[in-house]
Structure 1
């Protein structure tokens, strides 16, 4: 059996279809034994792919879009990778508050964030989409204090210490806080934003023409259909070992939240409409100064294979 090396920038239930590809045995059905690990930054991710140390990576088209945007000043920044399949077509971050007064069910108003402190993920994409939604909702973004604490665990601890009124994180961390009675989830950034080319799988151009790439894509497509038809509870049971500090119930609730949000689809292709939404978000944030062309970043070669 051939070994395929999989890497990821983040580890979250948000990437359930990617994780299920190897956890549920779909890669083994294609003769591939998966080794999975997380890397600390984009440079490490791209170096691993270019050197052949890794074959497939979870990243985002936004990373490549921003590289193209700065290429005039630094030609070496031009992306050498292509994004060949989508993982998520929605932003996967939630807004939580320590207050138990408001919740999604009671009609959160985004203007409630004005004048408040929010511990927010400062990676450029989640920050850009958060501010885009705030702009959409007519919120005075300049009145909000965005606090950068660090990783998810550090952010959660700072929130529990009372360093901000709101918390902006991917699942399952806000869901675990809610289950523990320490927070209420008041909003999902992906709901007002709609479909966007968010998280995706990328690889080198050469690898995309390999038999391994075709085998991986067959497994990934099978995983997408499996996630679509399988209950959140069963998916959580299969993924529980990947999230040792999260209860099974919370993991299932998180997966169900992403299903309800419409994060995942059985179509592996990154749509041009979703890509154009990313263009609008990054133009507003200033991460790009002009629209990026779809074909500069995305390959549909594998996703359209039968």
Structure 2
């Protein structure tokens, strides 16, 4: 009889294709594991990890920094990377001009003001020599509101994950002009999180083996194959949009490399959050990250 684990995600996007692939493919089954997947608010995911109803959650090391900034220290650790680069794209109105980040100066950009997306956007802009104070950073809400507002003609630029960004392009509302991940470089953007108790089990080691294979698979296999495998996870998204998003993330290289959360990615993200004023003290990696169980 297979062992069951519950996997929770705080966001549902093609950016997290390694999670969708490990569930949809044979990776977990080969390790004698079945998984149930759900999307839930961050606080609910954390609560599930703590009470044992969730074994693995999609998260980010910055979530632990925010908790620690509030004086909350949980027996949870980030143990595998999902994405080593920012997963947001910049969509611009079609004006036929080659894109440069400097074009955002004096423009209105519909930017996701969620904790990490916003810090990531500001970090990418600074990496490209742009003072974010020159941009009208309009907060209209999350992905759904940004999509609706941009379609209505509000703003010159939109800041979105895939496949939402690619959806706007295919609909003819604009074109994807930049990747924040390419513009800012390595960044510990999203990771898998679990309790220290779970990470000490054989089940965690078996899950990690399956996940590492799935992540490498989505990074290297043709985008058409990846899209076909995860197709049913995104019934609300057209095939062309999903395929374009997978291709874009493969081009950015967000899923390449070891599943271990490396020092360079961690330090880059920590520096960005510190510069943004979100980290007021140092958060040593060993206090929030554990090596992948083996």
TM-score by length of 2: 0.96
C-alpha distance in 1 between matches for 2:39 and 2:287: 26
Cα offset, 1:290, TM superposition: 2.8
Query: Is the 1:90–1:198 contact (alpha carbons within 8 Å) kept by the matching residues of 2?
Result: yes
C-alpha distance in 2 between matches for 1:3 and 1:183: 43
1:206 aligned to 2:197? yes
Match of 2:93 in 1: 98
Q: Structure 1's 85 and 301: CA in aligned 2 closer, same or farther, altered over 3 A?
A: closer
1:3 aligned to 2:1? no
C-alpha distance in 2 between matches for 1:301 and 1:151: 32
Cα offset, 1:226, TM superposition: 1.8
C-alpha distance in 2 between matches for 1:301 and 1:25: 20
1:292 aligned to 2:283? yes
The secondary structure found in structure 2 opposite 1:212 is helix
Counterpart among 114, 120, 130 of residue 111 in structure 2: 120
Query: Is the 1:92–1:188 contact (alpha carbons within 8 Å) kept by the matching residues of 2?
Result: yes
C-alpha distance in 2 between matches for 1:262 and 1:186: 17
* Unmatched 5+ stretches in structure 1: 72-76
Counterpart among 81, 87, 92 of residue 82 in structure 2: 87
Tell me the alpha carbon deviations over residues 60-107 of structure 1, each in whole angstroms, 9 at most, x when there is no partner. 001112222332xxxxx22331000000000000000222424xxx3x
Cα offset, 1:200, TM superposition: 0.2
Query: Is the 2:259–2:292 contact (alpha carbons within 8 Å) kept by the matching residues of 1?
Result: no
Cα offset, 1:266, TM superposition: 4.4
C-alpha distance in 2 between matches for 1:247 and 1:100: 25
C-alpha distance in 2 between matches for 1:222 and 1:275: 22
The secondary structure found in structure 2 opposite 1:292 is coil
How many pairs does the alignment contain?
Answer: 293
The secondary structure found in structure 2 opposite 1:153 is helix
Tell me the alpha carbon deviations over residues 212-245 of structure 1, each in whole angstroms, 9 at most, x when there is no partner. 2111111101212322331101110111111122
Query: Is the 1:27–1:33 contact (alpha carbons within 8 Å) kept by the matching residues of 2?
Result: yes
Of 202-211 and 93-102, deviating more is 93-102
1:146 aligned to 2:166? no
User: Over the residues paired in the alignment, what is the CA RMSD in angstroms?
Assistant: 1.4
Cα offset, 1:143, TM superposition: 2.6
C-alpha distance in 2 between matches for 1:116 and 1:266: 36
Of 199-208 and 62-71, deviating more is 62-71
Cα offset, 1:8, TM superposition: 0.2
The secondary structure found in structure 2 opposite 1:36 is strand
Q: How does 1:258-273 map to 2 (within 5 A)?
A: 258-273=249-264
C-alpha distance in 2 between matches for 1:300 and 1:270: 8
Match of 1:169 in 2: 160
